Amino acid sequence: MGAFDDMVVIVTGGALGMGRATAVEFVKQGAAVVVADVNKQAGLEVQDEMRSFGRGIFLEADVSESAACQSIVRDSVREFGGVDILFNNVGIHPGDSYVSVVDLPEEMWDRILNVNLKSHFMMAKYSIPEMRKRGGGVIINNASVQGLQSMPGVAAYAASKGGILSLNRQLALDFAVDGIRVLAICPGTIDTPLVRQAIPAGVEDVETAVRQAGEGHPIGRIGTAQEIANVVTFLASDRASFMTGEYVCVDGGYMAQGAWSSQWR
Protein backbone atom coordinates (compact mmCIF):
# COMPACT_ATOMS: atom_id res chain seq x y z
CA MET A 1 0.00 0.00 0.00
CA GLY A 2 1.30 3.43 -0.95
CA ALA A 3 0.99 6.51 1.22
CA PHE A 4 -1.21 8.15 -1.40
CA ASP A 5 -3.32 5.27 -2.69
CA ASP A 6 -6.66 6.47 -4.10
CA MET A 7 -5.55 10.11 -3.90
CA VAL A 8 -5.46 12.58 -6.78
CA VAL A 9 -2.61 15.08 -7.02
CA ILE A 10 -2.22 18.12 -9.27
CA VAL A 11 1.31 19.42 -9.91
CA THR A 12 1.66 22.72 -11.76
CA GLY A 13 4.90 23.29 -13.61
CA GLY A 14 5.43 19.56 -13.39
CA ALA A 15 7.23 18.89 -16.67
CA LEU A 16 10.75 19.62 -15.44
CA GLY A 17 12.87 19.95 -12.33
CA MET A 18 11.27 19.90 -8.90
CA GLY A 19 7.77 19.47 -10.27
CA ARG A 20 8.68 16.49 -12.40
CA ALA A 21 10.53 14.69 -9.63
CA THR A 22 7.66 15.30 -7.23
CA ALA A 23 4.99 14.16 -9.69
CA VAL A 24 6.84 10.90 -10.29
CA GLU A 25 7.38 10.38 -6.55
CA PHE A 26 3.67 10.82 -5.87
CA VAL A 27 2.87 8.21 -8.52
CA LYS A 28 5.41 5.82 -7.03
CA GLN A 29 3.61 6.21 -3.69
CA GLY A 30 0.23 5.33 -5.18
CA ALA A 31 -1.33 8.62 -6.27
CA ALA A 32 -2.94 9.46 -9.58
CA VAL A 33 -1.15 12.61 -10.76
CA VAL A 34 -2.10 15.40 -13.13
CA VAL A 35 0.84 17.44 -14.41
CA ALA A 36 0.08 20.86 -15.90
CA ASP A 37 2.75 22.72 -17.83
CA VAL A 38 3.30 24.86 -20.93
CA ASN A 39 6.16 22.59 -22.09
CA LYS A 40 4.39 19.98 -24.18
CA GLN A 41 7.40 17.88 -25.11
CA ALA A 42 8.69 17.60 -21.55
CA GLY A 43 5.13 17.09 -20.31
CA LEU A 44 4.57 14.11 -22.56
CA GLU A 45 7.89 12.68 -21.41
CA VAL A 46 6.92 12.92 -17.74
CA GLN A 47 3.53 11.43 -18.58
CA ASP A 48 5.30 8.36 -19.98
CA GLU A 49 7.52 8.21 -16.90
CA MET A 50 4.56 8.43 -14.53
CA ARG A 51 2.71 5.72 -16.41
CA SER A 52 5.68 3.39 -16.05
CA PHE A 53 4.96 3.44 -12.29
CA GLY A 54 1.20 4.02 -12.14
CA ARG A 55 -1.42 6.58 -13.15
CA GLY A 56 -0.63 10.01 -14.51
CA ILE A 57 -1.63 12.45 -17.23
CA PHE A 58 -0.18 15.61 -18.72
CA LEU A 59 -2.26 18.69 -19.52
CA GLU A 60 -0.77 21.47 -21.59
CA ALA A 61 -1.82 24.65 -19.81
CA ASP A 62 -0.69 28.16 -18.89
CA VAL A 63 -1.74 28.47 -15.26
CA SER A 64 -1.46 32.25 -15.34
CA GLU A 65 -4.88 32.12 -17.03
CA SER A 66 -8.01 31.54 -14.96
CA ALA A 67 -9.73 29.43 -17.61
CA ALA A 68 -6.73 27.11 -17.76
CA CYS A 69 -6.79 26.60 -13.98
CA GLN A 70 -10.49 25.80 -14.04
CA SER A 71 -9.92 23.35 -16.87
CA ILE A 72 -7.10 21.57 -15.03
CA VAL A 73 -9.28 20.98 -11.99
CA ARG A 74 -12.25 19.94 -14.10
CA ASP A 75 -10.13 17.48 -16.12
CA SER A 76 -8.60 16.06 -12.92
CA VAL A 77 -12.07 15.35 -11.54
CA ARG A 78 -13.25 13.85 -14.80
CA GLU A 79 -10.16 11.67 -15.22
CA PHE A 80 -9.56 10.52 -11.64
CA GLY A 81 -12.63 11.50 -9.61
CA GLY A 82 -11.50 14.44 -7.50
CA VAL A 83 -8.62 16.49 -6.09
CA ASP A 84 -6.86 15.66 -2.80
CA ILE A 85 -3.47 17.37 -3.07
CA LEU A 86 -2.31 20.44 -4.97
CA PHE A 87 1.38 21.19 -5.43
CA ASN A 88 1.60 24.77 -6.66
CA ASN A 89 5.07 24.37 -8.04
CA VAL A 90 5.08 26.52 -11.17
CA GLY A 91 7.50 29.42 -11.22
CA ILE A 92 9.48 31.55 -13.64
CA HIS A 93 12.50 33.78 -13.13
CA PRO A 94 13.73 36.81 -15.10
CA GLY A 95 16.56 34.59 -16.31
CA ASP A 96 19.90 36.37 -16.37
CA SER A 97 18.26 39.83 -16.56
CA TYR A 98 19.12 41.17 -13.12
CA VAL A 99 17.76 44.74 -13.05
CA SER A 100 16.28 47.14 -10.52
CA VAL A 101 12.63 48.18 -10.59
CA VAL A 102 13.66 51.28 -12.52
CA ASP A 103 14.72 49.16 -15.49
CA LEU A 104 12.28 46.28 -15.01
CA PRO A 105 9.72 46.17 -17.86
CA GLU A 106 6.15 46.28 -16.63
CA GLU A 107 5.35 43.32 -18.85
CA MET A 108 8.00 41.20 -17.11
CA TRP A 109 6.66 42.21 -13.68
CA ASP A 110 3.14 41.23 -14.70
CA ARG A 111 4.22 37.92 -16.24
CA ILE A 112 6.26 36.83 -13.22
CA LEU A 113 3.57 37.81 -10.71
CA ASN A 114 0.85 36.15 -12.79
CA VAL A 115 2.70 32.86 -13.13
CA ASN A 116 4.35 32.70 -9.72
CA LEU A 117 1.64 34.13 -7.46
CA LYS A 118 -1.69 34.58 -9.23
CA SER A 119 -1.61 30.95 -10.40
CA HIS A 120 -1.33 29.79 -6.77
CA PHE A 121 -4.43 31.81 -5.91
CA MET A 122 -6.40 30.52 -8.87
CA MET A 123 -5.41 26.86 -8.52
CA ALA A 124 -6.36 27.01 -4.83
CA LYS A 125 -9.63 28.80 -5.67
CA TYR A 126 -10.76 26.02 -8.01
CA SER A 127 -9.22 23.05 -6.18
CA ILE A 128 -10.55 23.78 -2.68
CA PRO A 129 -14.22 23.13 -3.52
CA GLU A 130 -13.21 19.70 -4.82
CA MET A 131 -11.12 19.03 -1.70
CA ARG A 132 -14.14 19.89 0.45
CA LYS A 133 -16.11 17.20 -1.35
CA ARG A 134 -13.42 14.69 -0.36
CA GLY A 135 -13.44 15.77 3.29
CA GLY A 136 -10.17 17.69 3.20
CA GLY A 137 -6.90 17.98 1.38
CA VAL A 138 -3.42 19.46 1.26
CA ILE A 139 -1.97 22.40 -0.65
CA ILE A 140 1.80 22.74 -0.91
CA ASN A 141 3.11 26.04 -2.31
CA ASN A 142 6.60 26.33 -3.75
CA ALA A 143 8.04 29.61 -2.46
CA SER A 144 11.77 30.27 -2.12
CA VAL A 145 14.43 31.51 0.23
CA GLN A 146 14.11 34.65 -1.88
CA GLY A 147 10.71 35.14 -0.29
CA LEU A 148 12.54 35.52 3.03
CA GLN A 149 15.74 37.27 1.99
CA SER A 150 16.75 38.45 -1.45
CA MET A 151 19.56 39.51 -3.76
CA PRO A 152 20.05 42.44 -6.15
CA GLY A 153 17.95 42.70 -9.27
CA VAL A 154 15.08 40.22 -8.73
CA ALA A 155 12.26 42.49 -7.54
CA ALA A 156 9.37 40.71 -9.28
CA TYR A 157 10.59 37.23 -8.39
CA ALA A 158 11.21 38.14 -4.74
CA ALA A 159 7.83 39.90 -4.49
CA SER A 160 6.06 36.87 -5.92
CA LYS A 161 7.75 34.48 -3.51
CA GLY A 162 7.07 36.70 -0.49
CA GLY A 163 3.46 36.91 -1.63
CA ILE A 164 3.24 33.14 -1.76
CA LEU A 165 4.26 32.92 1.89
CA SER A 166 1.57 35.42 2.92
CA LEU A 167 -1.05 33.66 0.80
CA ASN A 168 0.07 30.38 2.35
CA ARG A 169 -0.71 31.62 5.86
CA GLN A 170 -4.05 33.05 4.79
CA LEU A 171 -5.22 29.88 3.06
CA ALA A 172 -4.21 27.81 6.08
CA LEU A 173 -6.32 29.95 8.40
CA ASP A 174 -9.32 30.19 6.11
CA PHE A 175 -9.62 26.50 5.31
CA ALA A 176 -8.43 24.64 8.41
CA VAL A 177 -12.10 24.20 9.31
CA ASP A 178 -12.50 22.21 6.08
CA GLY A 179 -9.69 19.82 6.94
CA ILE A 180 -7.40 21.42 4.37
CA ARG A 181 -3.77 21.88 5.37
CA VAL A 182 -1.65 24.47 3.56
CA LEU A 183 2.14 24.52 3.68
CA ALA A 184 5.03 25.99 1.72
CA ILE A 185 8.56 24.99 0.90
CA CYS A 186 11.41 27.48 0.51
CA PRO A 187 14.07 25.82 -1.63
CA GLY A 188 17.57 27.13 -1.81
CA THR A 189 19.61 26.43 -4.92
CA ILE A 190 18.31 23.25 -6.55
CA ASP A 191 19.82 21.77 -9.69
CA THR A 192 17.04 22.48 -12.16
CA PRO A 193 16.81 24.06 -15.63
CA LEU A 194 15.40 27.23 -14.00
CA VAL A 195 18.43 27.62 -11.76
CA ARG A 196 20.81 27.18 -14.69
CA GLN A 197 18.85 29.77 -16.67
CA ALA A 198 19.16 32.20 -13.75
CA ILE A 199 22.96 32.17 -13.66
CA PRO A 200 23.96 35.80 -14.34
CA ALA A 201 24.93 36.93 -17.81
CA GLY A 202 28.66 36.87 -18.41
CA VAL A 203 29.25 33.60 -16.57
CA GLU A 204 30.75 31.43 -19.31
CA ASP A 205 31.21 28.13 -17.47
CA VAL A 206 27.77 27.12 -16.18
CA GLU A 207 28.98 23.90 -14.56
CA THR A 208 31.63 25.78 -12.61
CA ALA A 209 29.01 28.32 -11.52
CA VAL A 210 26.73 25.51 -10.32
CA ARG A 211 29.60 23.92 -8.40
CA GLN A 212 30.53 27.24 -6.84
CA ALA A 213 26.92 27.79 -5.84
CA GLY A 214 27.10 24.48 -4.00
CA GLU A 215 30.21 25.56 -2.17
CA GLY A 216 28.25 28.49 -0.74
CA HIS A 217 25.94 26.11 1.14
CA PRO A 218 26.91 24.90 4.61
CA ILE A 219 26.14 21.39 3.33
CA GLY A 220 28.65 22.00 0.53
CA ARG A 221 26.50 21.37 -2.54
CA ILE A 222 23.25 22.40 -4.18
CA GLY A 223 20.12 20.31 -3.74
CA THR A 224 18.47 17.86 -6.07
CA ALA A 225 14.93 17.77 -7.38
CA GLN A 226 14.43 14.42 -5.67
CA GLU A 227 15.27 15.97 -2.31
CA ILE A 228 12.47 18.48 -2.88
CA ALA A 229 10.12 15.65 -3.86
CA ASN A 230 10.94 13.84 -0.62
CA VAL A 231 9.97 16.88 1.47
CA VAL A 232 6.80 17.67 -0.49
CA THR A 233 5.49 14.12 -0.23
CA PHE A 234 6.23 14.12 3.49
CA LEU A 235 4.33 17.38 4.03
CA ALA A 236 1.39 16.08 1.99
CA SER A 237 1.24 12.85 3.98
CA ASP A 238 -0.44 12.00 7.27
CA ARG A 239 2.99 12.08 8.91
CA ALA A 240 2.70 15.90 8.79
CA SER A 241 -0.94 15.96 9.90
CA PHE A 242 -0.43 18.62 12.62
CA MET A 243 1.35 21.05 10.29
CA THR A 244 -0.36 23.93 8.51
CA GLY A 245 0.32 27.58 7.75
CA GLU A 246 4.08 27.11 7.89
CA TYR A 247 7.01 26.98 5.50
CA VAL A 248 9.95 24.59 5.47
CA CYS A 249 13.34 25.70 4.19
CA VAL A 250 15.00 23.06 2.02
CA ASP A 251 18.14 25.04 1.47
CA GLY A 252 21.29 23.25 2.60
CA GLY A 253 21.67 25.74 5.45
CA TYR A 254 21.39 28.99 3.45
CA MET A 255 18.98 30.69 5.81
CA ALA A 256 20.97 29.57 8.83
CA GLN A 257 24.07 31.41 7.69
CA GLY A 258 22.49 34.40 5.90
CA ALA A 259 24.21 36.52 3.27
CA TRP A 260 23.76 33.65 0.87
CA SER A 261 23.36 35.74 -2.27
CA SER A 262 26.93 37.03 -2.05
CA GLN A 263 28.02 34.06 -4.19
CA TRP A 264 26.69 35.86 -7.27
CA ARG A 265 28.48 39.16 -6.64
User: What HEC string does the chain produce?
Assistant: CCCCCCCEEEEECCCCHHHHHHHHHHHHCCCEEEEEECCHHHHHHHHHHHHCCCEEEEEECCCCCHHHHHHHHHHHHHHHCCCCEEEECCCCCCCCCCECCCCCCHHHHHHHHHHHHHHHHHHHHHHHHHHHHCCCEEEEEECCHHHCCCCCCEHHHHHHHHHHHHHHHHHHHHHHHHCEEEEEEEECCECCHHHHHCCCCCCCCHHHHHHHHHHCCCCCCCECHHHHHHHHHHHHCHHHCCCCCCEEEECCCHHHHCCHHHHHC
**Amino acid (1-letter code) at residue 122:** M
**Amino acid (1-letter code) at residue 174:** D
Catalytic residue among 126, 157, 247, 254: 157
Closest CA to 187 of 54, 89, 67: 89
Beta strand 32-37 pairing with 137-142: unpaired
126 is catalytic: no
Hey, which residues are catalytic here?
Answer: 157
